[in-house]
Structure 1
Amino acid sequence: MACQPSLVGPPEVYRPRTATATATPAATGNPFVDQMVANFNKKTTVPPPPMIYTENYALTFLSTGNPCLDFFFHVVPNTPPVTLTQRLQSAWDHNPLTALKLVCNLRGVRGTGKSDKEGYYTAALWLHKHHPKTLACNVGPLAEFGYFKDLPEILYRILEGPERSTPFKSPSTREARVLAAMKRMEIEEVKARESREDKKVATAKKAIERYNRDPDYKFLYDRISDLFADILKSDIQHFNSNQLNKISLAAKWCPSLDSSFDKATLLCESVAKKVFPRDLYEEYDGVSNAHYAYRVRDRLRKEILVPLRKALELPEVYIGANQWGSIPYNRVASVAMKFYKEKFRKHDKERFEEYLEKVKSGKATIAAGALLPHDIIASLNDMDGGEVAELQWKRMVDDLSKKGKLKNCLAICDVSGSMHGVPMEVSVALGVLVSELSEEPWKGKLITFSKNPTLQMVLGGDLRSKTDFVRRMEWGMNTDFQKVFDLILEVAVNAKLTEEQMIKRVFVFSDMEFDRASARPWETDYQAIVRKFGEKGYGSSVPEIVFWNLRDSRATPVPGNQKGVALVSGFSKNLMTVFLEESGALNPESVMEVAIAGEEYKKLVVLD
């Protein structure tokens, strides 16, 4: 048998070598000089990260000094894909397992995740390109961070390109929905001119060709279809034994036959063949491959998906059957409630309004877990007058309150010009949320900062009035961060507050593009704050600061090892849970580690 070719190299490679000792200066005999030389050659400190200026000319760091922490702090829902993947590459080079956990943290709908779906899909495609085995062998844990639907979505985007996505995002206003509907009608008219059959065949050929020629795609595809098949077989056993509470949501998110996902990936065929393998069912003996595939696909629909979806009491099942009067509203998921509420009121008004009254009185519950705070606030302008949004906001606050309270905490909302659009809406939403989770005397209070920061009591008895009040608070085009802490320090000095009476933690919801305010050219905003508090005798009472980044920006307020500070980001309220419990002194890296320390993260493995 011929030996496999290999590299041997010269004999010197195999000889043991003694490590060369590092040359050290000879002793001079003078103790002082010898100690000076020894200490000079010691590297006792790590140099700080490089520095830059913010868009408003304040000095800031370019990096935390930890690429993983940079990814955690800087990647937000509006981060361009090219920037995200560059930061992900740096994080992976630094610590692959932590980087993988941070990718999953992007998706995490529950726990401490950021609910950044698009960022997560971008990262998943990067994983498939650079570390395909790691992505494929983690499909089970990945589904736990989001939904089973994420898995066919990833396959779809690999086939069709990263910008292609099947879900239609429902616009937030009636006018936008009308325009979108007209746009879809125009698109459908164009599509109608094409040969549907030709397109279906071409799409299927594309899926088959990719599966046969790309081993990395094939491996991922098989792992995903294995997962669906195994869980569906387990779920149907639970169904047959009347253990309905053990049924997963795999049937809900498994592609329906001839859906966009199924046509593009042919996933239903693969799952069906594994649920009903030919060698275990005699009726498929002698049947052609094409006919076998057709029969098991139909069997998957009839015997697995239909009964399981009915058992899950999904609203889509009742809507499709026009059985509006049978919808169990207390089982409708938060996102589904947000999108279907107008249809519920139109087709089942009496029952739906009765359900909402029960929620108000505490006799029924409404889901809110998967919604982002600013999305709930945006729903205040929907046709229902914001009634559902008010109830979902209350549920969100109640759920977080059960996990703990924010003690001696205050929120600062950046409402300056650079925050225009979604970041400003998120800043307002998270600021109001912190004010509601805070204990007295800070409950219901927050600060907006631009030119003249002010401490405000958020007035209003409902969510709409509170958010309207915050939006009417004074704001301008600049972001004078230091003025906020000058105000806090002034109050403390004038009232002669003790250390125990001082505010302990400040949440800063911003894009970190602060104004230049220090007269000292090489002093960052945080360094200036610490100096000012020390000069007034409050050096040990500088509030802990949670810098919560809301916009794609290079500005980094502090390095990763700065004590008394946290660096977080994103639009989700989930990370708030990290600060609801009593903990030791903050520092950026420890907060990141806590955010990715849950049991679900321990299932992740790096393989390539």
Structure 2
Amino acid sequence: MSFAEQMREQTTKTYTENGAAARNTSGDARLDLFASIGSLRSADPERIELLFAEAYRADPLFALKILFYVRDIREGLGERCVFRILLQYLAKYHPQDVIANLDLIGVYGRFDDWYCLVGTRVENEMWKAMKQQLEADLKNFREGKSVSLLAKWIKTADSKREETRKLGILTAQKLGYPVYNFKRIVRSLRKYIGVLEVKMSEGKWEEIVYPEVSGRAMMIYRNAFLRHDMERFDRYLMNALEGKEKIHAETLYPYDLVEKILYFNPWDEIMEAQWRQLPDYVAKETNAIVVADVSGSMWIRPMATAIGLAIYFAERNRGAYHNLFMTFSEKSEFVSLKGETLEQKVQCVKSVGWGMNTNLQAAFEHVLETARDHDVPPEEMPKALIVVSDMEIDACVDENWMFYDHMKEKYEYSGYRLPNVVFWNVNSRHDLFHVDSKRKGVQLYSGESVTTFRNLLSNIDTTPAEAMEQIIESERYACVRTGDAEEKM
């Protein structure tokens, strides 16, 4: 290895907040972005932009696909804030890439994502795209055909919030309508597509079709439904709990429900019905265990995320590990879920010891010692350990030895193969990776969405880079394009 290569290698070394040796890059800038982007809600915009810039420098099209994966509400991570930060970054440095994909923003996200482009180099193109969509919707409206959800998210001047009101006036002006006429046009479209808030403001509670209310709106307006339409709403809830009626939950995260039980509101039937109808991405026997970080650094949302994902996976796993998972902090514990409701299951997890340390080594040794002490055959071991954490783990015995390498050697010394390891980051505070991009039998994910389970279960025993490529190069993101490609068409 040359001196220059040694210099580069040494710049990749870092340590966790608790002293464990790690890397500040996976060796693949695309993977650095992919494995962090879902856990950057609290990160500085500068760090988010730098991660994206490095990935874009390596592969512009792949980086753009990751961007739309992170925003993808239904099949991706559903992250809004990070997407908008990076959309503004692209508008500043690569405006043609934004222009080439303006039509996709409302497909993967929401039409109000367009507004983050106000004041950027692509603002005029954004208004053109919005006007084109509005005119198409008005044409379909007049012909009795289906229309987009633009009218739901477009800003109008009748908002109570000053910022939204100003955007509403600007929108009317940019689209070429008098402000009053524009409000009337948008209101007609909102009635046509059945926007919930219109029916509520007009007191038409009896017209609300509860199985069509989005999961997020149900959480926001449930008290209003109970107050104004108690008998009908109660009847709907009972049917939803019994699985006879649909209650939307596909855009919710487990933490949306678990966080309220842990810290804020008491459990109620609406939360229970939504939990039961979260999409099932574990609908088969799965030889895997979630290892949830319950240490002090995970407090509030990361903790709710880890516990929520652990309960979600354990109760939906039809295999030998049904209702089983692990936790770790100062020590590691096996958890057997008890209870019928989500609240009971969360209370069950709260009875487990939570400490300040992040001793992931204890969890892996707990698995190994249990197997060794009870002569468990290698073929009966879990195939995968899914570590849900902020990755700020404690140091191993040798602080210069990276965690994965240390565990791999310990398992092999005892005659066992280290199970496939998934490192799922739910709160990335700095660039931190426990393996490189080519390590077979390890995958790196981030975020808070249960859709990740579907992806990770189909990529066991791959490398981190292969697992990422399986998602990002899928047909789902084939329509994303660069500005250069748009110019050549």
TM-score, scaled to structure 2: 0.90
In the alignment, the residues of structure 1 paired with residue 124 and residue 235 of structure 2 have an alpha-carbon distance, to the nearest angstrom, of 47
| Matching of residues 349-498 of structure 1 within 5 Å | 349-380=230-261, 385-396=267-278, 399-401=279-281, 404-405=283-284, 407-498=286-377
Which residue, out of 7, 10, 14, partners 1:52?
14
Contact 2:259 2:300 in 1 (8 A): no
Letter of the aligned partner of 2:269 in structure 1?
Answer: E
> Could you say what secondary structure the match of 1:63 adopts?
coil
Pair 1:406–1:594, CA change in 2 (3 A): farther
Q: For residue 262 of structure 1, report the CA deviation from its aligned partner.
A: 5.8
Letter of the aligned partner of 2:298 in structure 1?
Answer: M
Letter of the aligned partner of 2:125 in structure 1?
Answer: R
Q: For residue 585 of structure 1, report the CA deviation from its aligned partner.
A: 2.2
> Could you say what secondary structure the match of 1:503 adopts?
coil
Pair 1:129–1:356, CA change in 2 (3 A): same
Letter of the aligned partner of 1:536 in structure 2?
Answer: S
The count of corresponding residues between Structure 1 and Structure 2 is: 472
1:326 aligns with 2:213: no
Q: Name which one, 1 or 2, has greater alpha-carbon Rg.
A: 1
| Matching of residues 75-154 of structure 1 within 5 Å | 75=37, 76=39, 77-111=41-75, 113-152=76-115, 154=116
Contact 1:61 1:557 in 2 (8 A): yes
Letter of the aligned partner of 1:266 in structure 2?
Answer: L
Q: Deviations over 1:25-68 (max 9, x none)?
A: xxxxxxxxxxxxxx99xx9xx96972222222221112101112
**Unaligned segments of structure 1, at least 5 residues:** 1-38, 159-215, 274-292
| Matching of residues 83-232 of structure 1 within 5 Å | 83-111=47-75, 113-152=76-115, 154-156=116-118, 158=119, 217=121, 220-232=122-134
Letter of the aligned partner of 2:386 in structure 1?
Answer: F
Q: Which segment drifts farther, 250-259 or 136-145? A: 250-259
In the alignment, the residues of structure 2 paired with residue 359 and residue 379 of structure 1 have an alpha-carbon distance, to the nearest angstrom, of 20
Q: For residue 382 of structure 1, report the CA deviation from its aligned partner.
A: 6.9
In the alignment, the residues of structure 2 paired with residue 580 and residue 366 of structure 1 have an alpha-carbon distance, to the nearest angstrom, of 26
Letter of the aligned partner of 2:471 in structure 1?
Answer: A
Match of residue 594 from structure 1: 470
Q: For residue 503 of structure 1, report the CA deviation from its aligned partner.
A: 0.1
Structural RMSD (CA): 2.4
Q: For residue 298 of structure 1, report the CA deviation from its aligned partner.
A: 4.3
1:545 aligns with 2:424: no
TM-score, scaled to structure 1: 0.73
In the alignment, the residues of structure 2 paired with residue 461 and residue 330 of structure 1 have an alpha-carbon distance, to the nearest angstrom, of 24
Q: Deviations over 1:519-546 (max 9, x none)?
A: 4x542110011101111111xx321111
Which residue, out of 447, 450, 464, partners 1:570?
447
Q: For residue 385 of structure 1, report the CA deviation from its aligned partner.
A: 4.0
Contact 1:518 1:528 in 2 (8 A): no
The percentage of aligned residue pairs carrying the same residue is 29
Contact 2:440 2:463 in 1 (8 A): yes
Q: For residue 443 of structure 1, report the CA deviation from its aligned partner.
A: 1.1
| Matching of residues 255-270 of structure 1 within 5 Å | 255-259=155-159, 260-261=163-164, 263-264=166-167, 266-270=170-174
Q: For residue 463 of structure 1, report the CA deviation from its aligned partner.
A: 0.5
Contact 1:148 1:250 in 2 (8 A): yes
> Could you say what secondary structure the match of 1:517 adopts?
coil
Match of residue 524 from structure 1: 402
Contact 1:566 1:588 in 2 (8 A): yes
In the alignment, the residues of structure 2 paired with residue 368 and residue 312 of structure 1 have an alpha-carbon distance, to the nearest angstrom, of 20
Q: For residue 325 of structure 1, report the CA deviation from its aligned partner.
A: 2.1
In the alignment, the residues of structure 1 paired with residue 471 and residue 351 of structure 2 have an alpha-carbon distance, to the nearest angstrom, of 34
Contact 1:408 1:439 in 2 (8 A): no
Q: Deviations over 1:300-346 (max 9, x none)?
A: 444x4333322322210111111122211111111111100011111
> Could you say what secondary structure the match of 2:250 adopts?
coil
Match of residue 63 from structure 1: 25
| Matching of residues 274-293 of structure 1 within 5 Å | 293=177
Pair 1:505–1:360, CA change in 2 (3 A): same
